């Protein structure tokens, strides 16, 4: 399977997932996981929404390496799949904000 085909398959899989788990490290190096239902996959990017004054925003700013785990719950055990994105988080600003 080519990289392009694999990315297409991952994107299709991700569209059918209702919740994702964001993992990051706090300032004291404690690992944390947060479930997100408000996220979108755009190519290799994952966009998720959260309040700009939430503690996780400050924690991620200090340690921007994160992972985002996706898994469909309606799978048969024999063909179980999941997706783990690993990357660097960065805040996005709305136009005019």
| Assigned fold of 3-88 | Pnp Oxidase; Chain A (2.30.110)
- pLDDT tens track for 41-66: 887 888 888 888 888 888 999 999 99
- Report the distance separating Cα 5 and Cα 3, nearest Å: 5
- Report the distance separating Cα 66 and Cα 21, nearest Å: 10
Domain ranges of the chain: 3-88
pLDDT of residue 66: 96
User: Is the pTM higher than 0.85?
Assistant: no
Whether pLDDT at 68 is above 70: yes
pLDDT of residue 22: 95
- Report the distance separating Cα 70 and Cα 89, nearest Å: 17
- pLDDT tens track for 27-37: 999 999 999 88
């Amino acid at each position: 399977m080519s990289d392009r085909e694999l990315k297409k398959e991952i994107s299709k899989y991700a569209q059918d997932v209702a919740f994702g788990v964001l993992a990051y490290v706090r300032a004291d190096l404690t690992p944390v996981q947060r479930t997100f239902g408000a996220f979108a996959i755009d190519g290799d990017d994952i966009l998720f929404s959260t309040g700009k004054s939430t503690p996780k925003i400050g924690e991620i700013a200090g340690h921007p390496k994160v992972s985002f785990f996706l898994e469909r719950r309606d799978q048969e055990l024999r063909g179980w799949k999941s997706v783990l994105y690993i990357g660097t988080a960065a805040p996005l600003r709305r136009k005019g904000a």
